[in-house]
């Protein structure tokens, strides 16, 4: 049985993951307006992933007989004034989410809630991948973003990203 503290944190994470989806849709919208459809695609897929992450937390709560409380999703508030700003906001957000996951893990550890810790193991690994991806995008933009031909190639690379749902067993 989930402790009240862990259940509250998991419920909050549902909202945070849906917010992440909103944020990445905002990023996608920014790049679509710039004519960078590959970058827009990349962030649209990020939004899909975040939505699925929210649903994994949602389902985990339900599977553990915990009440799910859906809250309002905040409007993204980042000022997107350059391509690099968007990418850096993405990294900043992933670091924030890593902190949230770590806090839930710490609470579960404190409660000796091994089932929740095992559930969160996938998210810990996922966050490492997300941070790496965000850092890689920043590095590529620093290397190639100022050259229109290279930016076109990077945009084309990102256009090839496809979505695959997470395969986490609850």
- In angstroms, the CA 74 to CA 87 distance is 20
- For residue range 13-49, list pLDDT tens digits in order: 999 999 999 999 999 999 999 999 999 999 999 999 9
- In angstroms, the CA 155 to CA 90 distance is 17
CB-based contact 83:39 (threshold 8 Å) = yes
- For residue range 72-81, list pLDDT tens digits in order: 999 999 999 9
- The full set of domain ranges for the chain reads 4-159
Q: Is 36 left (phi over 0), alpha (psi -120 to 50) or beta?
A: beta
Q: Is 35 left (phi over 0), alpha (psi -120 to 50) or beta?
A: left
> Looking at the domain that runs over 4-159, which CATH code has it been given?
1.20.1260.10
- For residue range 93-127, list pLDDT tens digits in order: 999 999 999 999 999 999 999 999 999 999 999 99
CB-based contact 87:31 (threshold 8 Å) = no
Percent of the chain with pLDDT over 90: 92
Residue 7 binned pLDDT confidence (cut-offs 50, 70, 90): very high
DSSP SS3 for 48:
helix
What are the phi and psi torsion angles at 82 (to 5°)? -160, 160
Task: Answer whether residue 168 shows pLDDT above 70.
Answer: no
pLDDT of residue 145: 83
- In angstroms, the CA 64 to CA 97 distance is 23
CB-based contact 32:40 (threshold 8 Å) = yes
């Amino acid at each position: 049985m989930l402790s009240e503290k862990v259940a509250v944190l998991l419920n909050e994470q549902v909202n945070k993951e849906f917010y992440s989806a909103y944020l990445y849709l905002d990023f996608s919208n920014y790049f679509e307006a710039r004519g960078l459809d590959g970058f827009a695609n990349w962030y649209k897929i990020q939004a899909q992933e975040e939505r699925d992450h929210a649903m994994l937390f949602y389902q985990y709560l339900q599977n553990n007989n915990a009440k799910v409380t859906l809250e309002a999703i905040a409007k993204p508030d980042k000022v997107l004034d350059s391509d690099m700003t968007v990418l850096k906001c993405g990294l900043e957000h992933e670091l924030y989410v890593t902190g949230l996951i770590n806090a839930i893990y710490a609470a579960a550890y404190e409660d000796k809630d091994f089932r929740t810790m095992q559930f969160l193991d996938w998210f810990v690994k996922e966050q490492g991948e997300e941070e790496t991806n965000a850092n890689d995008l920043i590095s590529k933009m620093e290397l190639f973003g100022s050259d229109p031909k290279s930016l076109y190639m990077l945009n084309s690379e990102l256009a090839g990203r496809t979505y695959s749902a997470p395969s986490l067993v609850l």
